[in-house]
Each structure stands twice: as structure tokens, then as C-alpha cells.
Chain A
């Protein structure tokens, strides 16, 4: 089983739609969780950290379920500029060392 698994997509949605991505991780000792965004041929950029209580940043909401070892990202009111690949990232220790990346889920938002 891969350490971090994501549906590769692509998810094709119209502008304004709500879309959700899920991710599962295999290491129950994982401590920190993140969503990164990666545009084509670019480096990944941190979108948001994921906290146990769930957290929201504007149109983006992240949830963590430690019991099921599952992380989600919800994007509301999708914009064309949200088109990218979203990477689920976990770390075995607190903080940012030794990040393990999922393959990513591609999102395509169309007019």
C-alpha cells in the first residue's frame, strides 16, 4: 500500500462548483498533514495545513480523520485559477521534516 494515496482525476468542474478531494495515508504515526498545490511544470506551493479539528481558509476547507487515516479538501465556488494538481502531503513527525507526497489530484475548472 502506498504511503499516501489520492485519486489522480482529473476532476472536471464548471466555475462556481464545489469539489472535494480525498486522500488516505498508511502510516498511523503521521503527525502533520498538508495540502499543496502544484501548477503544471512548477514547484509545489503550500495551500494549507490540516488540523485535527478541521480548518478553513476562504473557499478552502480541510478535514482530518485520524481514525480512518483520511484527509479531505473541499473547494467552494471554484475559480478558473483553481485549475491545478492538489497534492496531499503527510509528515511522520510534527512540523515539516520528511514530507511524503501523494501523486496529486488534477482539477480542471472550465468556464
Chain B
């Protein structure tokens, strides 16, 4: 079945540094990728929707200058957490939707997540 990969799977960084997380769709093309964040014992919260070749759409309350999203190809989206702080420590999960046939909506596939710890 469809597979979405994320890299790295976990990262520890110092406060003030930037961290880049990659999300790849491995056997399908994804026009749309989604970035979620999940704090312990909380629900997944959509941060932004990323469409290939265009600017990402951010959810209310998510700083676009802090969470930079680039979706340069149909199989790769990146999320960069700039000037990370301890409160950014979380589980970041990407999701990709199959391009599929016109007018047909396919399932969203989730990546395995990236656990970010900022010290």
C-alpha cells in the first residue's frame, strides 16, 4: 500500500536552532500534504495544508514565519521549525493525499511522525 516516510524520526536540538523535517510519499504522487502536531495526551492538530508548487495554507494560530513549509515536488514536502523553543517540542506528523483520478478522493496516508525535543 501507499507509504509516507518522514525524516528524521526523532531529533533533539538546542533552543534557538532550526530543524527541518522531510515528508515523502514513496509510491504515489501527492498534490496535497498536511502537517499536524500532537502534544502528549492531545489530539492531532492540523498546522498547515501544503499544495505542490504553491504557498501553504496555515491554520489559525500557527505562525507561518516560524513553521516554514516547502512543497517543491509531488513527492516531497518539508517543514522547518525556525528558532525552536522548548514549547515547540512535540510529535510532528505529515500526511499525504494520493493524486488519484480527477474527481476521485483518496485516503490520506500518515507518515510515522517526528518527535522533536528542544532543550
Chain A positions within 8 Å of B, measured between CB atoms, are 4, 8, 41-46, 87, 94-104
Contacts and interface: CB of A to CB of B under 8 A. Distances in A.
B108 A99 contact: yes
Given A8-B41, A43-B111, A44-B110, A97 B97 contact: yes
Nearest to B112: A43
10 smallest CB-CB distances across A and B, nearest first, come from: A95-B105, A43-B110, A103-B43, A101-B44, A101-B43, A96-B108, A43-B113, A43-B112, A43-B93, A44-B110
Interface string B38-82: 000111111001000000000000000000000000000000000
Nearest to B6: A43
Contacts of B42: 103
Given A44-B93, A104-B43, 15 more contacts: A41-B113, A42-B113, A43-B112, A44-B44, A44-B110, A96-B106, A96-B108, A97-B32, A97-B97, A98-B46, A98-B49, A101-B43, A101-B44, A101-B45, A102-B43
Contact of B110 (A41, A45, A98, A100): A45
How many chain B residues sit at the interface, stated as a range, is: 20 to 34
Contacts of A98: 46, 49
Interface of B: 32, 34, 41-46, 49, 91, 93, 97, 105-108, 110-113, 115
Given A43-B111, A43-B112, A44-B110, A87 B43 contact: yes
21 contacts: A41-B91, A41-B113, A41-B115, A42-B112, A42-B113, A43-B93, A43-B113, A44-B44, A44-B93, A44-B110, A45-B110, A94-B105, A95-B105, A96-B97, A96-B106, A96-B108, A97-B32, A97-B97, A98-B49, A101-B45, A103-B43
